[in-house]
Amino acid sequence: MIVKQYVKNFENMGLGMFVHFGLYSLIGHGEWVKFLERIPDGTYDKLTERFNPKKTWALELAETAKEAGCGYITITSRHHDGFSLYDTCGLSDFDAPHSLCGRDLIGEFTDACRKYDIKPFFYHTLLDWHEKSYKEDFKAYLSYLRKSVEVLCRNYGKIGGIWFDGMWDRPNDDWEEDTLYGLIRKYQPEAMIINNTGLSARGALGHIELDSVTFERGNPKPINLEDSPKYIASEMCEVMNDCWGYGESDINYKSPALLIEEMVLCRRTRANFLMNTGPLPDGSLRTLDKGVFELIGKWTSVFGDAFRFAVPTVKASVLSPEKNFVLEKDGCLYVFCFGLPTVADPNVSVHTGSDFDVKIKINGYNCDNLKITAIDTGNVLSYDFRDGVLTVHGIPFAFGGNLVVRVIKIENGGKDNG
């Protein structure tokens, strides 16, 4: 099996920021507003006369992503409404340089990403509600699509990848994928090529040139690569509320704790977590969105090394609690522990004991002389080892320090037995 280094580099980033930003942000009813509310082209197109993100939007976005521990940002260079944030170089006047702002926003975005050492990825729609050839002359549309993608591949330096979406809209048509992906390889040979399978086909393998499967808002599962000639990564994209683009009245937010748990659970199968935000019309983030990324950053700043680089292992598996899992890095085991309570004085906490244990089945790991540490506090934890089962004691959080998921590090005192 061929393993491409750029695919492993992508997998090792672990966390990315997804950004849905465009004309629809001005309406504040989500990214599908044109379709769902049946807004005529003439009415919708006039939004370009008001579209004017502030000059610092991209820098603020990249800074937030960096502080959260994101290795990459995937932004909607063109969404289903057909409006492009980049200079389409004459292919269309339905783009940012022809809007009120008069600027190439993807150019600003890639510059900001490089300032903060973040890989820029371009989401690019495959379906298009604006381009008439999509319905009237599909072959001509595919030519337009490829020319658009070529602009992205040629004009913005080395990129992290292209993230396609919308092939599910015409599942029985020939999208000429060989030609499309070959074009990307010509200009960006180390760019990740991802084609979202949507809500209906999570984790499905596709064209051989694709480098990652997707799990849109779904729990990633191991993918079967037995018959695949190359290694393929996986990624789960998630939304904070219900809309991907800005929804002014969408306050159905998931808790930061739930999102952190989802993020961590992705790593059981080495899937990346792509956390979405829908910027306001001026390109800035809602206070709550920015706050969620700040809290994610508190977690990754403590446990990020194990989160990014530890891999699944056959040397150990968690017996209980069931949600916990074990990864391995440099000969050490890392146990990701969920649902731990905060313990304190009975007048301030409902939990007062310290005997919250995790039981781990050991297979081929030397347990003669272990050092087990809570990474966030540095505290050394006690343990018992009997009949191949390692029981680690005393792992709840102290008052004022609940990080949602705790990672404990197990180091052995000698060579493995396996």
Class of domain 5-309: alpha beta
DSSP 8-class letter at 255: P
Q: What is the pLDDT of residues 201-245, one digit of tens each?
A: 777 788 999 999 999 887 888 888 888 899 999 999 999 999 999
Quote the CA–CA distance of 83 and 131 in Å, as a whole number. Answer: 10
The one-letter amino acid code at 311 reads: V
Segments of 51-139 assigned E as strands? 72-78, 119-125
Residues of the chain with pLDDT under 50: 414-418
Sequence ranges of the domains in the chain: 5-309, 311-411
Q: Which of 88, 79, 92 lies closest to 27 in space, CA to CA?
A: 79
Q: What is the pLDDT of residue 366?
A: 86
Range 311-411: architecture per CATH: Sandwich (2.60)
Answer yes or no: pTM beyond 0.85: yes
Q: What is the pLDDT of residues 41-62, one digit of tens each?
A: 999 999 999 999 999 999 999 9
Quote the CA–CA distance of 302 and 306 in Å, as a whole number. Answer: 9
Q: What is the pLDDT of residue 320?
A: 81
Q: What is the pLDDT of residue 415?
A: 46
Contact 260, 404 (CB under 8 A): yes
Q: What is the pLDDT of residues 258-310, one digit of tens each?
A: 999 999 999 999 999 999 999 999 999 999 999 999 999 999 999 999 999 99
Q: Looking at the chain, how many residues does it have?
A: 418
Q: Which of 311, 305, 300 lies closest to 3 in space, CA to CA?
A: 311
